[in-house]
Amino acid sequence: MPAQPVMRNNGSLRIAVVGGGIIGLSAALEMRARGADVAVYESGIQLGAGVTVRAAGMLGSAFDWALEADQRSLAALARHAGMLWPDFAARIERMGGGGVEFSKEGAIVVARSDAEIGWLETLAAACQARDLPVRRMSAADLKRDEPALTGGAKAALMLPEDRQVDAQIVLQRLGAALSRAGVGFKYGRKVERIVGGQVFQMPDGERFDRVVLATGSGPLPAFFGPRGAPLEHGLIEMIPVKGQMLALAPVGGGPQHVIHARDVYIAPKSRWVLVGATSERGRADTEVEPASVAALRTRAAALVPALADAPEVTAWAGVRPGTPDDAPMIGQTAIPGVFAALGHYRNGVLFAPATAELVADQVIDGKVSPLAGAFDPLRFDKQAEAAHSALQRD
Ligand code: GLY
């Protein structure tokens, strides 16, 4: 006989979130706010084992997505997330006991050659077509607003709504906010196996009504029915995309804004200046390679000469959770009651508040908003099935 749903005395829905990165914690915060009883299972012995703390924290709604003409749903998600961030940051700061370095400065995109000016113009036109705020910067604007950029910028754009946060601090504040809100943390728990039916039993014996998978590029748990038969969740494995990043000490004359060029970005925080990043599809290791880090510094110093001699604080590599179409997987899996919040690729920090909202809508309220439709976690399975049936018909 299938087990009956477990309800606590107060009748709250019990939800297990597997994964304590920014996506899992943001979803946990939103579901808790909507009355659920939430626990977070994190495989590390504390927060920060995954890719969140290796992110540059840029909220690039316009820069990252304006040019992706075939990714309308992603652009809409990015825009929505960008609009949610000011309130989300304020909420985390209020509940988490301190600031997250949410910067209202905007990002500058620079071109250094005629070919890059063409790219910049295309970006400006795409932003205008999508009603995303964008402003051309003259040489005088640049000199006044970002005097650090003396390395041959021939043209520049300001994207005033592409902001940034310190992702490491965000994760800490989210953790504090959740603890204060009564969310339980289970650290050092690799969730390899979940037994499901109408309720889900975790390896530690705890039982939940719903499970949210937010495991980043880590392995997904295996699911089994009450009698031990495997249950298929229908999710694909993530595609690892390694990114190496360099952290330089802040120096006099350093940049004040996020700066993007075609081959590098610079994200200044109060404690360091992040320079990123490589994009190595298919690589899941976190080895830092001196040649890659040196190349990042050379590119950054070509734009901002003041960074040429900035002491290196540290360098790291993270693994972005990619998907075949670069879009996240948000929604119910093939196992009723098990939901995905996966595949946020280069934009986990940006998308976090929007994904949290879409996950809570589905898990708590049973609603799939039009925005979530494009991110059905089973779409790859369905595409494979459709291709298979087409072959059969041939
Ligand atoms: N979003 C920046 C990166 O993935 O490197």
Q: Measure 244 CA to ligand 1 centroid, in angstroms.
A: 10
pTM of the predicted model as reported, rounded to 2 decimal places: 0.94
Q: Whose CA is nearest to atom 2 of ligand 1?
A: 346
pLDDT (tens digit per residue) in 178-219: 999 999 999 998 999 999 988 999 999 999 999 999 999 999
Q: Domain locations in the chain?
A: 14-53+168-237+325-393, 107-160+239-320
Instruction: Give the per-residue pLDDT at 3.
Output: 41
How many C-beta atoms surround the C-beta of residue 392 within 10 A?
7
Take atom 1 of ligand 1 and give the residue whose Cα is closest.
Answer: 346
Q: Which helix (H) or strand (E) holds 389?
A: helix 379-393
Supply φ then ψ for residue 278, to 5 degrees: -75, 165
Q: What is the CATH number of domain 107-160+239-320?
A: 3.30.9.10
Query: What is the whole-number distance in angstroms between the Cα of residue 302 and the centre of ligand 1?
Result: 20
Q: Which residues contact 240 (CB under 8 A, 6 or more apart)?
A: 217, 281, 282, 283, 284, 319, 320, 321, 322
Give me the tens of pLDDT residue by residue for the chain, a chain 394 residues long: 334 444 444 679 999 999 999 999 999 999 999 999 999 999 999 998 899 999 999 999 999 988 876 678 898 999 999 999 999 999 999 999 999 999 989 999 999 999 999 999 999 999 999 889 999 999 999 999 999 998 788 999 999 999 999 999 999 999 999 999 999 999 998 999 999 988 999 999 999 999 999 999 999 999 999 999 999 999 999 999 999 999 999 999 999 999 999 999 999 999 999 999 999 999 999 999 999 999 999 999 999 999 999 999 999 999 999 999 999 999 999 999 999 999 999 999 999 999 999 999 999 999 999 999 899 999 997 666 655 555 555 5
Nearest CA residue ID for atom 3, ligand 1: 346
> Closest Cα to atom 4, ligand 1: which residue?
346
Most ligand 1 atoms within 8 A of CB, residue of 109, 281, 346 to mutate:
346
CATH of segment(s) 14-53+168-237+325-393: 3.50.50.60
A 10 A CB-CB count for 247 gives 19
- pLDDT single digits (tens) 326-354: 999 999 999 999 999 999 999 999 999 99
